[in-house]
Structure 1
Amino acid sequence: MLPARKAKLTARMRLASDENADKYFPDKMTRIENWLHNVESHSNASEVSATGVKDRRPSEIAKLETLRAALEKFDTNLDLNNGFSGSAARQRSRGHDTPAPSRTRTYIRLDLPLPVRVYRKHCKRLKVLPLRRVLGQFGRPRIILNDLCMSLSDVRAACKGLAYETSAAYLDVSGNSLGAVGVSHLLQMLAENKQYIEVRIADNCLTGNGILLVSHHFLAHHVITVLDISGNRLTDTDGTAVANIIKASPQLRVLHVHHNEFCDTAGKVIGKVIANHKGLKELDISWNHLRQRGAIAFCKGVEKNTSIEYLNIGWNGFGFEGCVAMADALRRNCTLEKLDFTCNRIHPPALLELMKGLLSNKILRVLVLDKNPITPSFATVLLEGIMKTPSIALEELSLQGIVVDKDFQGVLDTIHQGRGFSVEYETSLPVTSRNRNDMLKEIEMRSTYNIEPLRMLYLLKERNRAQDFFHKINKDHNDGLTPDELAALFKESGIPVARFVVDKIMNFMDTDGDGKIDLGEFLVGDKKIKRLSRDLARKSISEEAHYSRYSRTFRQAHIQNLTSRLKVEEAQNYLSPITSLTPSPASSRRSSVNYP
Structure 2
Amino acid sequence: MFFAGAMQNNRHLEELNLSGNEFSEVGGGFMGAGIGANETITALNLSWNHLRQKGVFALCRGIRSNNTLQWLDVSWNGFDDEGASGLATVLKYNEVLTYIDLTNNRITSKGAMKMAKALFINKTLQTLRLGKNPIDMDGSLQLLKAIRGNEQSGMHVLDLTDVLLSQEFLELYTVVQEERPHFSVVYGGVGQDLSWIVGDKKHMRRDPMQVFQDYIYQNHTRVITVFQSFNREDRDKVTREAFKRGLKGAKIPLSAYEIEHMLDRLDADGDGMISYADVMAGQKELFKKKREEEWKKYTEVLEERRKRRQVKEKLEGALDVLDREPRTAEAWIRALHRMKQKQTNPSRSSTRSGSRLGTSRPASRISTNGAAEGTPRESAARTPQLMSVVGSVWKKPHRNERLTSSSSPVSDQPRSALSRAGSAAGRTRTDPHT
TM-score with structure 1 length normalisation? 0.36
Higher helix share: 2
TM-score with structure 2 length normalisation? 0.48
Which has more radius of gyration?
2
